[in-house]
Structure 1
Amino acid sequence: MAKKQRVFVVGVGMTKFEKPGRRDDIDYPDMVNEAVTKALQDCKLPYQAVQQACVGYVYGDSTCGQRALYPLGMTGIPIYNVNNNCSTGSSALYLAKQLVEGGQSDCVLALGFEKMDRGSLTSKFNDRTNPMDKHVEVLADTVGIEAAPITAQMFGAAGAEHNKKYGTTPEHMAKIAYKNHKHSVNNPYSQFRDEYTLDQIKNSPRVSGPLTKLQCCPTSDGAAAAIVVSEEFVKKHGLQGQAVEILGMQMATDTASTFEEKSNLKMVGYDMTKLAADRLFAETGYKPSDVEVVELHDCFSANELITYEALGLCPVGKAGELIDSGNNTYGGKYVINPSGGLISKGHPLGATGLAQCAELVWQLRGGADRRQVPGAKVALQRLGGAAVVALYKLGFPVNKSNKA
């Protein structure tokens, strides 16, 4: 079996995330042009250097990936359209990494974008099996269905189950939202940049279970991109000073326990996240305790709480203690979602995973400005839908600051 090549991110770029429809003059090719141009400028490469492209989006027709890239150059390269719900952008990055790692290409564009409908996510096709039918069945069998967005019900039920099983409280989830809104104040790319008190978060309108409005991510428009390259490409183009290595990346999907155990914690993805994380740390030889900065999937505050334990950032049942100790923010063991996370930065499904990648690249380079995590050397990323988990570090450590 051929030895795997080292894989690096040398350029990242993104747009500001916006409320859907806020800028009707901007369509998805415009957002893509901005994000990809920024990524190329970051590494001083022309678009013609890109040999293949993996393009993620959910809201769009089947060849939007090709159309999105027309303004940058019609160079005839292979373009793969990727749709994997919340993990769409991370899945595009995962595929780009595999293309480079396997020696198929030296320079691959990983891109994600979204121009979403306003309001909660809904099914588009009502004449066939709903892909969430088994998830809804678990929800109905355990707590019932109410008049609220279905994903909020799922994660609200998972949060309530964690409260009952491990003694956490709704206040722990509110504290997560408080932290992420506070972090977003320093992120110019964030959809929301308002800071709230803990009482404001707890007393905002209830959505489902313990979740209030300020603990739920919004729908968003936006784009993000990463230039993924081989070690040979890095050295050939003199990009060692800004190359961030993808140490490892793992994807997992639902296991039988997702539905068989009639647990909402399992139903929203705990086991597949743990499976992907365990494989990642085994592959790389790193441990959760080696990580300083994390970007993870906080579509709802309950999901961030659950994910702490699935990733091994704390023991099972101890997420509440991690939150109360302040070890999930500046000054603590980890800084989790310094960008503001999905709750505040926004969640354009196709772009989110690549926006997380961009944030972690800036953090590791020391270029995250007022949200910089001091001394960040190892970064962890996680998104769901399918669980995609990645570890990053500077590929060729140098004393250099590259500004975001």
Structure 2
Amino acid sequence: MTDFAQLQIIKNGHVTSPKGFKAGGTHCGLRRKKVDFGWLYSEVPATVAGVYTQNAFQAAPLHVTKESIAVEDKLQMVVVNSANANACTGEIGMANAYETRKLVAERIGVSEHLVAVASTGVIGVQLPMEKLTKGIEQIDLDQSVTADFEQAILTTDTVTKYVAVEVEIEGKVITLGGACKGSGMIHPNMATMLAYITTDANVEAESLQTALKTATNETFNMITVDGDCSTNDTVLAFANGMNMQTELTTDHPEWHKFQDAFTLISQLLAKKIAKDGEGATKLVEVNVKQAESTDSARKIAKAIIGSNLVKTAIYGADPNWGRVICAVGYSNQPIDPSKVTVYLGDIKVVENGLPADFSEEEGKEYLMSENVSVTVELKMGDGEATAWGCDLTYDYVKINASYRT
């Protein structure tokens, strides 16, 4: 059971809050004016873990990054460009990703396999390497401006997304930091998102991968904005050990503390993505309880949070609980309709599969809130899960109708 009570969220914490991490960014011309090229650096090679998009069309940077990590599960630098995804770009795109890695390695004086590359933006357009090279030439490890990195990775995002937490293990306070981007093409099993989690703890590679996968299943894989899954989605975790000598593994007696901290930071980042969904006005949380299993609860929660009818009803502040019931019903999971109870916030709108006596006006007023929760009780078992998303608005269509123009 996850326990966040022991954890401390750092006010104004960033991805560089853990010891030994630096970040920066610059404008290299991929965008008209905005910062569009960023870098994240560890002073020493960091143990690394990664999870990636489930889309069959994986962009060139993903292949190069996975190849780097495969050498020794270590990275020291990741560079990210926005505006161009370097996806569906064939052999030229792969060559450009390799060339980016090579130029960055030469710039900072490390082996190529210690560099990861990432891109986000328009699909099917070749990277303008002369512009990207300009960005690489501006990397200055003595000038760490984390806010520039957080800005450089954005696409249609309206805000930067970052957080940091502290946890005490063996009497030592270690820090985890994170930064991410994501606003559209967001769907469970990864989304159009890039996320970077750092820690100054010393974590064994396989255990770090376990921490990342465990947290991802509960957080990044439980958000949706529009049901689309992109080509570039990547979450990387870095552990440089600069504030802790003892190597943490899943067998460590206090491993649960580290896992809880990792899950919390992932959840906070995931919720920031969901809240900043393209055109969104509300953060929506769906809680499924008493399902037959955790897996079943997750699938039902995803069905509800991904329903366009649910999302538009919430946008219109319409307490139309029938849309929630329909999503539960088509989730293809074990349910007994005569046992299902549904709440909008604290307002019971369905009890044992039948309409509950509630005030429509009260329901409408609640759905006008900035944060909306939907809870479904199934009375089938002990399975629980939470998913996050947002409402679906007119602005979502406007943003995506003119994305390339």
Quick check: which has more Rg, 1 or 2? 2
Verify same fold: TM over 0.5: no
Q: TM-score, normalised by structure 1?
A: 0.25
Flag the structure with higher strand content: 2
Q: TM-score, normalised by structure 2?
A: 0.25
Flag the structure with higher helix content: 1
